[in-house]
Amino acid sequence: MPNTSVPATGEAVPAGAADPLLSTILSYRDGCKAYADGLTEEDIDNDDTLFERTYGEQMRALTAWQDPATTPEGAIEALRLIKDERMITEPMGVAMVDAAIGYLEGKAVQQ
């Protein structure tokens, strides 16, 4: 039987628990931080091993992602990732992502 435990009222739900996209993005961000924190002079020339140990798997998963976010927080974080990783380079694109994030954040707070 699958584990279908539901948190009790008021019990904290781990960030990303209900949204696989959100979980993957948060794991990717943690891996990027670990990569930056662990980068040494020796790694500069051969950073493939550190990349694989820290965020390689998550980057591949996000690159191949095809499912929609299942929570407003996941959608917001996906847009933030686009902006933070500079996947949009035009000022108008950044402004439109900011507008979408603002709207979704407002909707998430209302729920």
Is the residue at 13 inside a domain? no
Average pLDDT over residues 78-89: 92
Is the residue at 69 inside a domain? yes
Q: Which residue has the higher pLDDT, 64 or 89?
A: 64
Is the residue at 9 inside a domain? no
Given pLDDT bands bounded at 50, 70 and 90, which one contains residue 2?
A: very low
Average pLDDT over residues 5-22: 56
Is the residue at 67 inside a domain? yes
Domain that holds residue 24: 20-110
Instruction: Please name which of 28, 25, 53 lies closest in space to residue 40, comparing C-alpha atoms.
Output: 53
Given pLDDT bands bounded at 50, 70 and 90, which one contains residue 38?
A: confident
Does residue 36 carry a pLDDT above 90? no
Is the residue at 64 inside a domain? yes
Average pLDDT over residues 8-28: 71
Is the residue at 104 inside a domain? yes
Is the residue at 8 inside a domain? no
Q: Which residue has the higher pLDDT, 68 or 41?
A: 68
Is the residue at 10 inside a domain? no
Q: How many domains are contained in the chain?
A: 1
